[in-house]
Amino acid sequence: MGKALIVVDLQNDFCPGGALGVAGGDEIIPVINRLVNSFDTVVYTRDWHPANHVSFAENPQFIDKSWPAHCVAGTPGAEFHPDLLVRPDGIIVDKGTDPAVEAYSGFQGTGLAEKLRERQVDTVYITGLATDYCVKATALDALKAGFRAFVVVNASRGVDNPPGTVEDALNELRAAGVGIITDAEIGSSGE
């Protein structure tokens, strides 16, 4: 059975200078680009919201999961970061497209589990942004859908507001059965 790399929301708005910039969000791109060429199957998720999405707020609090407008479908902020290697045979899945529904997970409403099973994938390696929101939700849903799941921690960055949220997320993932590894550990025994 096969492995897939999942690159979560490596979009301009989640990188420094973007509407919902994650500190160091662009630093992980070289690590991800190296991985992109070593997997048969690569999935790219996009946060892909309508302009009136339920999570958008005039005075976003972050802590209560209200956010500044970000990743509005078709805008430059929703584009992949220009340095990201987007493979022509990559699977792109869009989430959060319903104005009334928040969707952090790349599996939510996208048919991703079926697409992976079609390709005989049983194990997913998750990278990207943000560790404490969409990466976490994608990893937990991967497990629920029956995949083995790993988060590649040096290929992911989090919002971390309040500070400690990323560490909490990693602990929650470990407790659920998600492996927390670095890119160097991919393919090594025990991973």
Active site residues: 9, 95, 134
> What is the residue-wise DSSP string for 69-117?
S--BTTSGGGSBPTTS---TTPEEEEE--STT----STTTTT-HHHHHH
Choose among Zn ion, ligand VGL, none what residue 121 binds, the Cβ cut-off being 5 to 8 Å by kind.
none
Distance CA 124, CA 105 (A): 14
Query: Is the Cβ of residue 41 or residue 156 nearer to ligand VGL in the bound state?
Result: 156
Q: Is there binding between residue 9 and ligand VGL (CB under 6 A)?
A: yes
Strand boundaries in the chain, DSSP class E: 2-8, 41-47, 91-95, 121-129, 148-157, 179-181
Query: Is the Cβ of residue 172 or residue 191 nearer to ligand VGL in the bound state?
Result: 172
Distance CA 113, CA 108 (A): 9
Q: Is there binding between residue 9 and Zn ion (CB under 5 A)?
A: no
Residues 38-67 that bind Zn ion (CB under 5 A): 47
Tokens found for residue 100: 């009334």
Cα dihedral across residues 88, 22, 15, 83: positive or negative: negative
Query: Is the Cβ of residue 133 or residue 150 nearer to Zn ion in the bound state?
Result: 133
Binding-site member from 35, 69, 129, 170 for ligand VGL (CB under 6 A): 129
Query: Is the Cβ of residue 21 or residue 179 nearer to ligand VGL in the bound state?
Result: 21
Only segment of 24-32, 83-91, 126-134, 169-177 that touches ligand VGL (CB under 6 A): 126-134
Q: Is there binding between residue 132 and Zn ion (CB under 5 A)?
A: no
Q: Is there binding between residue 155 and ligand VGL (CB under 6 A)?
A: no
Please, are residues 62 and 159 in contact by the beta-carbon 8 Å criterion? yes
Choose among ligand VGL, Zn ion, none what residue 129 binds, the Cβ cut-off being 5 to 8 Å by kind.
ligand VGL
Binding site for Zn ion (CB under 5 A): 47
Binding site for ligand VGL (CB under 6 A): 9, 14, 47, 55, 67, 104, 129-130, 133-134
